[in-house]
Structure 1
Amino acid sequence: MSNKTLNKILGGSFMIEDLDYQQMVTPEDFTEEQRMIGETTQDYVNAEVLPRDEEIEKLNYDLTVDLLRKAGEVGLLGADVPEAYGGMGLDKVSTTIINEKLTKASSFALSFGAHVGIGTLPIVYFGTDTQKRKYLPQLATGELIAAYCLTEPSSGSDALGAKTTAKLSEDGTHYILNGTKQFITNANFADIFIVYAKVNGKDFSTFIVERTMEGVSIGPEEKKMGIKGSSTCPLILEDVKVPVENLLWEVGKGHLIAFNILNIGRFKLAAGCVGSSKDAIEYAAKYANERTQFGQKISSFPLIGKKLADMNIRTFALESMVYRTAGLFDVGLADVDHNSADVGYQSAKAIAEYQLECSINKVFGSETLDFVADEGVQIHGGYGFTQEYRIERIYRDARINRIFEGTNEINRLLIPGNLVKRAMKGELPLMQKAMALQKELMEPIPAFVGEGTLEQEAHLLAMSKKIFLMAGAQAVQKYQMKLEQEQEVLSHLADIMIAVYGMESALLRTKKQIERAGEAKSETYIDMTTTFVHEEFARIEALAKEVLSYMESGDTLRTQLSVLKKLTKRTAVNTLSLKRRIAAKVIEAEEYVL
């Protein structure tokens, strides 16, 4: 699907507007070229990385660097780098496919991701032409390896609380950097470090630091729970002289670079969670068909089947969300003029448009993978707790994702906070929609009558958006400027938004598939969407009740709960039977199914 056929969609607008499914990118839309990119990535992982997996897990730096360079030879490192600077300049859907397919490579996938994503993209989007020509061609081949240095011993989620300093020299030729960065992926073998420091102790700025610069040193490896094959060390900067030419963008603009690169990092993390979830389903389904108890395969037990169905359904929703978001990025970044003097500003604006969606993907993706990995271990029983089976590694490696790229708690606060800020700036008519809803809710709500395929699910999606507006408007009115202090309320509102994005992504993808292949050939899509929407809707109802009960009491609360009850009327669906049907297909295929 060409970017030209898609309209630009405002970030966060999905909460107040309905989207035509033709404006959404789905995995079924992949071009032949995109599918080939996926196959190339998978072939590379199978041939080069998996046979050396045990060596990588023992922290063989030389091997990791060698494998990164081989990835560069087949074009994988340069996917996000513009062609003018030695890369392939691929669209975001294509690079998302690469991210997803690489996850079988476990720890190596993290080394790869840190290099091509948060390590290289700051230069791609915010570097000068000179900086791009100096570094990007070598980053695209793996001749240089990159690392991203934001976190410090005393500042994790509070990135702007960094203590690393940069002082301009008296002759104005270089900055002198001092400080320590913590938990730096690729630190032990990286050549280039994207370092954040405060100029004169106050202006948060970004620098390209080279490993060979005097005063740069690396601390010891962290002993980690998972992702053991990736290098994670402190970066120590002692009077490091960094040429002024190595300042990225402008002094004081570091926060814009950091937050926008983190947005992409969050999105890429979610893409990786898609791949790992699919892997976990495959391992669990195969084991369930091999393991015999009480004289029969455990895959024949309904509770095992239900687990596999739930794993498949959540992965389907995540996959739908991730590629929908990749499509949004492609449209937004298509307008950026990479030859323009303000390419950094253009890029920052295009990326920031979807920061809310990136946080949604990150939270839902990391928690989906945790759920899928946990159920995978449970299906393996005692063997899932041993290193003999791959599911144990997936389980350990997955845990960091809820901490990486801003904890899920921080991201939950950002999601509704960002939406409200956009509304306050007049970028989204959120308050107008909320006021119109208040008038609508004063009138009797007609009973929903719809028996066609996914008609009730579309109705529940519409009601979910109204429930959010109702609860969200009440929170804004009650707390106003103090809303950010009500973290439980914000977290609940975030969870409703995450559920809505997931429901809508699954629903639109399935509608698109029905148009493409017909209902008969879309049965599993329909079953998964129906189940997911109904289960998420029940969660939304519970979340809204908790929020309303926290904010109000007495007659006011009774009135609001009465309105909520009207908005949550639905006909129950036999989800257990739907899950049995989905499970049967997963068990037969021994992998993620559609």
Structure 2
Amino acid sequence: MIERGTKMMGEKIIGGSFIINDVDYNSVITPEDFTEEQRMIGETTKDFIEGEILPQDEAIESLNYDLTVKLLQKAGELGLLSADVPEQYEGLGLDKISSTLISERLSKASSFGLSLGAHVGIGTLPIVYFGTEEQKKKYLPLLASGEKIAAYCLTEPSSGSDALGAKTTATLSEDGKHYILNGTKQFITNAAFADIFIVYAKVNGTDFSTFIVERTMEGVSIGSEEEKMGIKGSSTCPLILEEVKVPAENLLWEVGKGHLIAFNILNIGRFKLAAGCLGSSKDTIEEASAYANERVQFKQPISSFSLIRRKIAEMNTKAYVLDSMVYRTAGLIDSSMKAIDFSRSDAGVASAKAIAEYALECSINKVFGSETLDFIADEGVQIHGGYGFIKEYKIERIYRDSRINRIFEGTNEINRLLIPGTLIKRAMKDELPLMQKAQQLQEELLTFMPQRTFTGLLEQEEYLIKMAKKIFLMIGGLAVQKYQQKLDSEQEILSHLADIMIQVYAAESAFLRTKKRVAKEGEEKAANAIAMTQVFVHESFETIEALAKDSLAQVESGDRLSTQLSVLKKLARRTPINTIERKRQIAARVIAAEKYVV
């Protein structure tokens, strides 16, 4: 049974501020900061997966619903379903670092991990964050134990990314005691065996609202299982609602507040998805490195070949960066939510505000995490060669299962639009001095001279991160000046700005973690982390420079384009490092350990 851990404290940081401010490594949470209790929670999850789930993997993949529910209830007995449920509702009320560790370790359970993750995350959290006291007392103990299983019902046949375009309706009965729900929800995880459904519908066809619907209510039915490319052991069915009488007290929060619940729960879902991608990335590195040592070609293991080693080094480096991002963000969310009293009537307002604070960072984690896993899974298949295409090998399933993550919880395209959009909205509300910083930069660039020499450890990498932030402000400022209110329509520019922010957050997260580790353990013990940080910062900076050039060619022309390219050239000046040798060193350590190495 998991015991309640100690909450990790963190200094309050304004969401999105990383792109305009320097960040002290002491302000971020890293995996090296885990308490013994938190590590034990991770080990408990791992032991449960290896002892209870993996031996039943084939049956789970064949959609044995009874077995999945039985195993979910076993997880409930261990406390794996109650980490995010407050203690007063028979949960553990763990800190976000602990619940993130559970999400990461669950990845090894493949489809079962998705079933459990959907239940504890998007299925249960709407009631935790936005339920009334009566709703919490009624449902949360049952959900925490696994006696009842939850599902989240937002997507419809005609509305995916456009969630507010939903056609499911809710009409208040004449006596005011019930809402009558009609509509169909599509692609609902856990639908075949869920007991509680979080359903979004429009009251009177206009006010987007949220309801707690029970499976036993008359008019609730479940459609056929979808035959999916991957995650085959998870249930994915339509939910059909025909004249379903839902008690008025099952309205979640208030009429017309459904969009706030949906979007904020999706923010948490995006973050938890990134944690799952992290776990799968580590599992893939273990599979690929072990196979590379085992597979002999030309009388030597393929792990001895430089191009295979490069793949392994790049896989491990991206996983290290994602690892750094996920727990940095977990620390931010924890600091934002730790003061909320979920028994108060205003808990919904406080929850919405706290989650929204780091909505931008959650989207960044989702995009980077899902694309990192896809990269690592793809390289894992390549290392396996023809065997990677054969169902007998786990890497084949990892590859198929990974693809959904770029679609889940809002497509990566939608998230790329949300990232700069959220930042600009904050600036418009004077929550961030974004435009002031951009204006200051324009004045600074008149006399700007790039730094040419670097002597200290990671000094050039720190400088490049600072320059990357200036490049973002430069491109963003020019784009806002040109397009103003029409910037929303320039999706390519917004996507480029998002990608710059993603690369900055990723590079900075790795840099801060490594600096913190060097300060604590010394350079020798952190040698692998130093090499990975150097490689990633330099390669991500190349990406940022390319994105900036492409953006400038769209925003400017003629002499103005030439002038801005000259400015960019000064901001992007750097001395290349020997990434080939560093990758060889990284690969050697991973191959020797046959697992992810920090």
Tell me the CA shift for residue 552 of structure 1: 1.0
Q: Which residue of 2 aligns with 1:396?
A: 400
Q: Residues 61-97 of structure 1, C-alpha deviation per residue, up to 9 Å, x if partnerless? A: 0000000000000000001000100110001000000
Is the CA contact 1:510–1:529 (under 8 Å) kept in the aligned structure 2? yes
Q: Which residue of 1 aligns with 2:423?
A: 419
* Residue 296 (str. 1) matches residue 300 (str. 2): yes
* Residue 574 (str. 1) matches residue 578 (str. 2): yes
Is the CA contact 2:450–2:571 (under 8 Å) kept in the aligned structure 1? no
Deviates further, 329-338 or 521-530: 329-338
Is the CA contact 1:384–1:392 (under 8 Å) kept in the aligned structure 2? yes
1: CA distance, partners of 2:421 / 2:7: 29
Is the CA contact 2:325–2:365 (under 8 Å) kept in the aligned structure 1? yes
2: CA distance, partners of 1:580 / 1:219: 52
Could you tell me which of 282, 288, 311 is aligned with 1:284?
288
The residue identity in structure 2 corresponding to 1:332 is: S
Is the CA contact 2:8–2:334 (under 8 Å) kept in the aligned structure 1? no
Could you tell me which of 134, 137, 140 is aligned with 1:136?
140
* Residue 442 (str. 1) matches residue 435 (str. 2): no
Q: Which residue of 2 aligns with 1:319?
A: 323
Could you tell me which of 147, 152, 155 is aligned with 2:151?
147
Is the CA contact 2:152–2:197 (under 8 Å) kept in the aligned structure 1? yes
2: CA distance, partners of 1:497 / 1:311: 21
1: CA distance, partners of 2:304 / 2:117: 39
Q: Which residue of 1 aligns with 2:558?
A: 554
* Residue 227 (str. 1) matches residue 246 (str. 2): no
* Residue 374 (str. 1) matches residue 378 (str. 2): yes
Is the CA contact 2:38–2:98 (under 8 Å) kept in the aligned structure 1? yes
Q: Residues 87-144 of structure 1, C-alpha deviation per residue, up to 9 Å, x if partnerless? A: 1000100000000011110000000000000000000000001000000000000000
Q: Which residue of 2 aligns with 1:38?
A: 42
Is the CA contact 1:100–1:274 (under 8 Å) kept in the aligned structure 2? yes
Is the CA contact 1:108–1:229 (under 8 Å) kept in the aligned structure 2? yes
Q: Residues 157-186 of structure 1, C-alpha deviation per residue, up to 9 Å, x if partnerless? A: 000000000000000000000000000000
Alpha-carbon RMSD across the aligned residues, in angstroms, is 0.9
* Residue 484 (str. 1) matches residue 497 (str. 2): no
1: CA distance, partners of 2:53 / 2:11: 39
* Residue 106 (str. 1) matches residue 110 (str. 2): yes
Is the CA contact 2:9–2:335 (under 8 Å) kept in the aligned structure 1? no
After superposition, the Cα gap between the structure-2 partners of 1:585 and 1:214, relative to the gap in structure 1 and judged at 3 Å, is same
After superposition, the Cα gap between the structure-2 partners of 1:76 and 1:5, relative to the gap in structure 1 and judged at 3 Å, is closer
Is the CA contact 2:416–2:495 (under 8 Å) kept in the aligned structure 1? yes
1: CA distance, partners of 2:8 / 2:394: 43
* Residue 179 (str. 1) matches residue 179 (str. 2): no
2: CA distance, partners of 1:73 / 1:414: 38
Q: Residues 354-381 of structure 1, C-alpha deviation per residue, up to 9 Å, x if partnerless? A: 0000000000000000000000000000
Tell me the CA shift for residue 447 of structure 1: 2.9
The residue identity in structure 2 corresponding to 1:340 is: R
SS at match of 2:525: helix
Q: Which residue of 2 aligns with 1:504?
A: 508
Normalization by structure 2: what TM-score?
0.99
1:47-446 aligned at under 5 Å gives the runs 47-446=51-450
The residue identity in structure 2 corresponding to 1:254 is: G
Is the CA contact 2:178–2:248 (under 8 Å) kept in the aligned structure 1? yes
2: CA distance, partners of 1:498 / 1:441: 24
**Paired-residue identity, %:** 73
Could you tell me which of 584, 587, 591 is aligned with 1:583?
587
Is the CA contact 1:3–1:331 (under 8 Å) kept in the aligned structure 2? no
* Residue 538 (str. 1) matches residue 542 (str. 2): yes
Could you tell me which of 500, 515, 521 is aligned with 1:517?
521
The residue identity in structure 2 corresponding to 1:30 is: F
Is the CA contact 2:8–2:331 (under 8 Å) kept in the aligned structure 1? no
2: CA distance, partners of 1:335 / 1:411: 28
Tell me the CA shift for residue 337 of structure 1: 2.1
Q: Which residue of 2 aligns with 1:9?
A: 13
Q: Residues 275-331 of structure 1, C-alpha deviation per residue, up to 9 Å, x if partnerless? A: 000000000000000000011100000000000000000000001000000000110
2: CA distance, partners of 1:499 / 1:210: 43
Tell me the CA shift for residue 336 of structure 1: 1.3
2: CA distance, partners of 1:313 / 1:402: 20
Is the CA contact 2:133–2:345 (under 8 Å) kept in the aligned structure 1? no
1: CA distance, partners of 2:34 / 2:6: 11
Q: Residues 546-582 of structure 1, C-alpha deviation per residue, up to 9 Å, x if partnerless? A: 0000111100000000000000110110000000000
Q: Residues 181-224 of structure 1, C-alpha deviation per residue, up to 9 Å, x if partnerless? A: 00000000000000000000000000000000000000000000
Tell me the CA shift for residue 446 of structure 1: 4.2
SS at match of 1:187: coil
SS at match of 2:526: helix
Is the CA contact 1:281–1:312 (under 8 Å) kept in the aligned structure 2? yes
Tell me the CA shift for residue 3 of structure 1: 6.0
The residue identity in structure 1 corresponding to 2:190 is: N
The residue identity in structure 2 corresponding to 1:143 is: E
Q: Residues 7-47 of structure 1, C-alpha deviation per residue, up to 9 Å, x if partnerless? A: 10000000001111011000000000000000100000011
Tell me the CA shift for residue 448 of structure 1: 3.4
2: CA distance, partners of 1:274 / 1:86: 29
Tell me the CA shift for residue 341 of structure 1: 1.5
1: CA distance, partners of 2:23 / 2:340: 24
User: How many residues matched?
Assistant: 594
Segments of 5+ residues of structure 2 without an aligned counterpart are none
The residue identity in structure 1 corresponding to 2:547 is: L
Tell me the CA shift for residue 445 of structure 1: 1.3
Tell me the CA shift for residue 2 of structure 1: 7.2
Q: Which residue of 2 aligns with 1:473?
A: 477
1: CA distance, partners of 2:8 / 2:119: 30
Tell me the CA shift for residue 334 of structure 1: 1.2
1: CA distance, partners of 2:7 / 2:398: 35
2: CA distance, partners of 1:563 / 1:540: 14
Is the CA contact 2:313–2:587 (under 8 Å) kept in the aligned structure 1? yes
2: CA distance, partners of 1:114 / 1:341: 26
Q: Which residue of 2 aligns with 1:564?
A: 568
2: CA distance, partners of 1:340 / 1:389: 51
Q: Residues 440-490 of structure 1, C-alpha deviation per residue, up to 9 Å, x if partnerless? A: 001141433222110000000000000000000000110011101000000
Segments of 5+ residues of structure 1 without an aligned counterpart are none
1: CA distance, partners of 2:73 / 2:35: 27
Normalization by structure 1: what TM-score?
0.99
Q: Which residue of 1 aligns with 2:461?
A: 457
Tell me the CA shift for residue 340 of structure 1: 1.9
SS at match of 1:520: coil
